[in-house]
Chains A and B, each alone.
Chain A
């Protein structure tokens, strides 16, 4: 469809965040009893999300629209721009937030913490600021929206601020966010190339010297990385996500991280024209390291939300790696391959947004049902909350990268992109690739391990502690979850449509396109550069499985009466089975600890075999904290100690200061 007959789409798109702000303010003003307040306003926000997604969709292939608002600085009013890239991420925001908001209606109605009116305001401001980040077309509006986003989410994270690790988490989060913002500001400063013009159009116009371009790229990598959670600025992520209420974690992990990816793509592919091969290598390496790091830490977590947070780091790493590949190909003008890598990346963005928010929401339901967050206490919820369990299963399979769900589709494309790197005219890179591919494969495989741990321990087996009043999710919660799960399945089974919808955007960014390779194959098959090289037909997959399943089922039934006798579990004939004999979360993580020991900073104490009351203690720290952050903090402290010495409290000293200043200046100007 062309954007011409849908000209006002940008106005509609820009109207949605304003609507969100309005909802927030009205919600703030509206005094009513908690449950009905939440159930009234959050679904409104969900409706806004739907509208946003639908309004942005035409722009994915349509032409670019830009408007200037009469707000902002006198010389630099707010510029809004709706192009392919922003459209894609707006759709992501709208579609995912719709599900989350719907869910949030029930969630906040039931949760005890915080003042729901404030939460409503902050939540919708958060949504609106994300939308404006995606729409911004000048540095000022971008920074404003960017920081408002950080701020709103900070307040949401610290909703339950009596707990001091939550406060610490929020603080850490905001600090890192601020550092990132500083880097981004510097990046824009580099991009605008001396003439004081901070609209993105002007930056597009500039062509930077290679050195400065590299500086800008690295600044962007740091700045956006601080939001996305690249190594080593990931430090806030596993703290802040668990601290936040689940819908907020879902929004942050699912959508907010993607805005950072958006920024990175915007700078790298849109504002900077040229790319240099080593940027790609840098991004690729960093991404893979991040992915491995994330998945390993996820494997050893004992708190389900921390586990998911680390898995977010992993997925972000994969996305970054994909971006790196795209840059790499693009820098060698291999546009089709760049297009492949980029579509894979974007596709993975939306997939991760879907299943990660889905899983975070399920943790929310679990916490409401059991008021536990630690894996060590949960178990067997598939019986008490079948709905959530079923939906969570879809999310788990998707995030574990299993066909025929969406996670696999994007990872498949990424693998294809990796396998096409031998065409790069650089032997070292060719040699590098197998290693990269290996790391990627390892990360993906470990993700499967992590997810089995997550699902198995939370939903399967026996409850590790007596879980009273575990009940299934409410209607709105189910609706929100189903919405997300639905898309996981649809995108998984029919990835071709998603990829071809992405094609104009990818073409705009890389001048390459997957069209012809897709034209050669049918809509059933997802293909890489060309169908005979590789293809993947998830629908056939699904059909095949279902057919065989039905066949076997019927055959078995023909053979057999299908009666089932219930009995106690056999368990190799051992009697006296109890729940504590199951694997604990630590137990599940233990082999990973063993194998990848050097990655962790471990503190362990094993009980001696003859211990009367054996106790096992194990704590895992992030090495980066001690490598990067502690030294910086020390430095600041020493510096401020030095400076503090200036202030001696003796008036004579102060007089000497000013006397000296006077003399020095007088001599200076002679």
Chain B
């Protein structure tokens, strides 16, 4: 395959990785605006990362090698994930390496490492956060898979690029089943990225925190990697959502003419998505931890319903 692919791959990956904090900043900014505050500014996440990278790492006495290994694994896992999702162009040399299932697996790996790292020190909050995170994940993960399977059934494939090809570049057809999937996906996204109503990224209030509780013990560069990975994760989810539900405008295999346009389109989409997310967070309230399973069960059911409606409405019985 010609180097162009690698260029587009590299371009996309770097773009995603380095835009991710901006995305986060944008979401926060929108939140601030909606709350009539003047927010910290779009670049706040970058400043934070820089500060953390320059700080001295402080690690608990009994931290094991696993504790120090985890941030790197999480970070690289997320980078890998984002480089798999076709946001600019569909033809990426990396995309055959993983389909949606593998993508979910990748998220799971990162999460497991994070949870283990959280338990490593042996603090009350660490293990609590790990447990909650794993609980949420163990319910969100099947829901996510179900969400993916609806388009996978439509496009007869689980490879994201193929899905996008199928959904985006054929004649435009509306799939009712995708509506279910979209809602379910949104709920999963909220849960997986520790957003309200499942978790509150902005608090360290002991009893409510999930994600933060796991990474309490991290500092400096490790914390930076974790936060960054978290930002990338959000980015990845949003771009997956884009790729699945509004794929129009993603560039075909290597037609460079489309590329700038698709970049533009992408940025618009991302901006909208971020704003939407912020708005959603504004209107909803954090829920009790034991409501979360019901919430995710809801998502799970919606996704399954999506598959069923697919069979009901879209498969012409032959």
Q: Do chains A and B touch in the complex (CB under 8 A)?
A: yes
Contact of A572 with B206 at beta-carbon distance under 8 Å, contacts A541-B97, A544-B97 already known: yes
Question: Which residues of chain B are near A445, meaning CB under 8 Å?
Answer: 108, 137-139, 141-142
Q: Say whether B61 faces chain A, with CB atoms less than 8 Å apart.
A: yes
> Is there an interface contact between A403 and B102, defined as CB atoms closer than 8 Å?
yes
**Min C-beta distance of B169 to chain A, whole Å:** 14
> Is there an interface contact between B115 and A419, defined as CB atoms closer than 8 Å?
no
> Is there an interface contact between A460 and B216, defined as CB atoms closer than 8 Å?
no
Query: Which residue of the partner chain, among B58, B64, B290, contacts A383 with CB atoms under 8 Å?
Result: B64
**Min C-beta distance of A169 to chain B, whole Å:** 30
Q: How far is the CA of A431 from the CA of B310 in the complex (A)?
A: 10
Q: Say whether B263 faces chain A, with CB atoms less than 8 Å apart.
A: no
Interface residues of B in 95-137 (CB under 8 A from A): 96-99, 101-102, 105-106, 108-109, 111-112, 115-116, 119-128, 130-132, 134-135, 137
- The residue in chain B whose Cβ has the minimal distance to the Cβ of A403 is B105
Q: 1/0 per position for A390-409, CB-CB distance to B under 8 A?
A: 00010001001111000010
Q: 1/0 per position for B168-190, CB-CB distance to A under 8 A?
A: 00000000000000000000000
- The residue in chain A whose Cβ has the minimal distance to the Cβ of B115 is A452
Q: Say whether B317 faces chain A, with CB atoms less than 8 Å apart.
A: yes
Secondary structure call for the A interface: helix
Question: Which residues of chain B are near A376, meaning CB under 8 Å?
Answer: none
> Is there an interface contact between A460 and B97, defined as CB atoms closer than 8 Å?
no
> Is there an interface contact between A535 and B96, defined as CB atoms closer than 8 Å?
yes
Question: Which residues of chain B are near A466, meaning CB under 8 Å?
Answer: none
Stretch of A31-39, A307-315, A434-442, A482-490 contacting B (4+ beta carbons < 8 Å): A434-442
Q: How far is the CA of A355 from the CA of B115 in the complex (A)?
A: 21
Q: Say whether B76 faces chain A, with CB atoms less than 8 Å apart.
A: yes
Question: Which residues of chain A are near B131, meaning CB under 8 Å?
Answer: 453, 583, 587-588, 591
Query: Which residue of the partner chain, among B108, B221, B311, contacts A430 with CB atoms under 8 Å?
Result: B311
> Is there an interface contact between B97 and A382, defined as CB atoms closer than 8 Å?
no
Query: Which residue of the partner chain, among A403, A532, A577, contacts B109 with CB atoms under 8 Å?
Result: A403
**Min C-beta distance of A543 to chain B, whole Å:** 9
Query: Which residue of the partner chain, among A379, A427, A535, contacts B99 with CB atoms under 8 Å?
Result: A535
Query: Which residue of the partner chain, among A438, A460, A525, A570, contacts B217 with CB atoms under 8 Å?
Result: A570
Q: Say whether B284 faces chain A, with CB atoms less than 8 Å apart.
A: no
Question: Which residues of chain A are near B307, meaning CB under 8 Å?
Answer: 434, 437
> Is there an interface contact between B99 and A574, defined as CB atoms closer than 8 Å?
no
**Min C-beta distance of B111 to chain A, whole Å:** 8
Q: How large is the interface on B (under 10, 10 to 19, 20 to 34, 35 or more residues)?
A: 35 or more
Q: Say whether A475 faces chain B, with CB atoms less than 8 Å apart.
A: no
Q: How far is the CA of A422 from the CA of B154 in the complex (A)?
A: 10
- The residue in chain A whose Cβ has the minimal distance to the Cβ of B293 is A595
Contact of A382 with B112 at beta-carbon distance under 8 Å, contacts A525-B97, A591-B131, A591-B135 already known: no
> Is there an interface contact between A537 and B97, defined as CB atoms closer than 8 Å?
yes
Q: Say whether A548 faces chain B, with CB atoms less than 8 Å apart.
A: yes
Q: 1/0 per position for A536-578, CB-CB distance to B under 8 A?
A: 1100110011111100110010011001111111111010010
Q: How far is the CA of A202 from the CA of B153 in the complex (A)?
A: 44
Question: Which residues of chain A are near B97, meaning CB under 8 Å?
Answer: 525, 535-537, 540-541, 544
Q: Say whether B295 faces chain A, with CB atoms less than 8 Å apart.
A: no
Q: Say whether A534 faces chain B, with CB atoms less than 8 Å apart.
A: yes
Q: How far is the CA of A588 from the CA of B58 in the complex (A)?
A: 28
Q: Say whether B35 faces chain A, with CB atoms less than 8 Å apart.
A: no
**Min C-beta distance of B82 to chain A, whole Å:** 11
Contact of A537 with B105 at beta-carbon distance under 8 Å, contacts A434-B304, A577-B123 already known: no
Question: Which residues of chain B are near A567, meaning CB under 8 Å?
Answer: 58-61
Q: How far is the CA of A531 from the CA of B96 in the complex (A)?
A: 8
Q: How far is the CA of A570 from the CA of B126 in the complex (A)?
A: 11
Q: 1/0 per position for B46-58, CB-CB distance to A under 8 A?
A: 0000000110111
Q: 1/0 per position for A373-389, CB-CB distance to B under 8 A?
A: 00000011011001001
Question: Which residues of chain B are near A446, meaning CB under 8 Å?
Answer: 138
Q: How far is the CA of A403 from the CA of B149 in the complex (A)?
A: 19
**Min C-beta distance of A579 to chain B, whole Å:** 6
Q: How far is the CA of A259 from the CA of B146 in the complex (A)?
A: 33
Query: Which residue of the partner chain, among B53, B105, B135, B315, contacts A449 with CB atoms under 8 Å?
Result: B135
Q: Say whether B258 faces chain A, with CB atoms less than 8 Å apart.
A: no
Name which of A453, A525, A591, A594 has the most chain B CB atoms within 10 A of its CB: A591
> Is there an interface contact between B123 and A437, defined as CB atoms closer than 8 Å?
no
> Is there an interface contact between A572 and B216, defined as CB atoms closer than 8 Å?
yes
> Is there an interface contact between B157 and A422, defined as CB atoms closer than 8 Å?
no
> Is there an interface contact between A408 and B60, defined as CB atoms closer than 8 Å?
no
Q: How far is the CA of A401 from the CA of B104 in the complex (A)?
A: 11
Q: Say whether B83 faces chain A, with CB atoms less than 8 Å apart.
A: yes
Q: Say whether A624 faces chain B, with CB atoms less than 8 Å apart.
A: no
> Is there an interface contact between A571 and B57, defined as CB atoms closer than 8 Å?
no
Contact of A568 with B60 at beta-carbon distance under 8 Å, contacts A534-B99, A587-B131 already known: yes
- The residue in chain A whose Cβ has the minimal distance to the Cβ of B67 is A460
Q: Say whether A582 faces chain B, with CB atoms less than 8 Å apart.
A: yes
Query: Which residue of the partner chain, among A397, A457, A525, A574, contacts B112 with CB atoms under 8 Å?
Result: A397
**Min C-beta distance of B252 to chain A, whole Å:** 15
Contact of A422 with B76 at beta-carbon distance under 8 Å, contacts A534-B158, A572-B125 already known: no
> Is there an interface contact between B122 and A552, defined as CB atoms closer than 8 Å?
no
What is the number of contacts between chain A and chain B, taking CB atoms within 8 Å? 268
Q: Say whether B79 faces chain A, with CB atoms less than 8 Å apart.
A: yes
> Is there an interface contact between A560 and B105, defined as CB atoms closer than 8 Å?
no
Question: Which residues of chain A are near B43, meaning CB under 8 Å?
Answer: none
Q: Say whether B285 faces chain A, with CB atoms less than 8 Å apart.
A: no
> Is there an interface contact between B60 and A579, defined as CB atoms closer than 8 Å?
no
> Is there an interface contact between A435 and B304, defined as CB atoms closer than 8 Å?
yes
Q: Say whether A412 faces chain B, with CB atoms less than 8 Å apart.
A: yes
Contact of A382 with B221 at beta-carbon distance under 8 Å, contacts A448-B112, A548-B75, A553-B72 already known: no
Question: Which residues of chain B are near A419, meaning CB under 8 Å?
Answer: 149, 152-153, 158
Question: Which residues of chain A are near B152, meaning CB under 8 Å?
Answer: 419
Name which of A403, A549, A566 has the most chain B CB atoms within 10 A of its CB: A403
Interface residues of B in 281-318 (CB under 8 A from A): 290, 293, 300, 303-304, 307-308, 311, 315, 317
Question: Which residues of chain A are near B243, meaning CB under 8 Å?
Answer: none
Q: How far is the CA of A544 from the CA of B141 in the complex (A)?
A: 23
Question: Which residues of chain A are near B304, meaning CB under 8 Å?
Answer: 434-435, 438
Question: Which residues of chain B are near A535, meaning CB under 8 Å?
Answer: 96-97, 99, 159
> Is there an interface contact between B149 and A434, defined as CB atoms closer than 8 Å?
yes
Question: Which residues of chain A are near B235, meaning CB under 8 Å?
Answer: none
Query: Which residue of the partner chain, among A382, A403, A422, contacts B106 with CB atoms under 8 Å?
Result: A403
Q: How far is the CA of A569 from the CA of B6 in the complex (A)?
A: 44
> Is there an interface contact between B76 and A552, defined as CB atoms closer than 8 Å?
yes
> Is there an interface contact between A460 and B64, defined as CB atoms closer than 8 Å?
yes
> Is there an interface contact between A564 and B59, defined as CB atoms closer than 8 Å?
yes
Q: Say whether B66 faces chain A, with CB atoms less than 8 Å apart.
A: yes
Q: Say whether A269 faces chain B, with CB atoms less than 8 Å apart.
A: no
**Min C-beta distance of A617 to chain B, whole Å:** 21
B contact residues vs A (CB 8 Å cutoff): 53-54, 56-66, 72-73, 75-77, 79-80, 83, 94, 96-99, 101-102, 105-106, 108-109, 111-112, 115-116, 119-128, 130-132, 134-135, 137-139, 141-142, 145-146, 149, 152-153, 156-159, 162, 204, 206, 216-217, 221, 225, 290, 293, 300, 303-304, 307-308, 311, 315, 317
New contact pairs (20) apart from A456-B119, A540-B97, CB-CB < 8 Å: A437-B307, A438-B300, A441-B142, A445-B137, A460-B120, A462-B122, A532-B162, A533-B157, A533-B159, A535-B159, A537-B97, A545-B77, A547-B76, A567-B60, A572-B204, A572-B206, A582-B127, A583-B130, A588-B131, A591-B132
Q: List 23 A-B contacts (CB under 8 A).
A: A380-B122, A382-B120, A389-B64, A403-B106, A437-B145, A441-B145, A441-B146, A442-B138, A445-B108, A445-B142, A448-B134, A456-B115, A460-B120, A461-B121, A541-B106, A544-B79, A552-B72, A568-B60, A570-B60, A571-B217, A572-B204, A572-B206, A582-B127
A contact residues vs B (CB 8 Å cutoff): 379-380, 382-383, 386, 389, 393, 397, 400-403, 408, 412, 415-416, 419, 422, 427, 430-431, 434-435, 437-438, 441-442, 444-446, 448-449, 451-453, 455-457, 460-462, 521, 525, 528, 531-537, 540-541, 544-549, 552-553, 556, 559-560, 563-572, 574, 577, 579, 581-583, 587-588, 591-592, 594-595
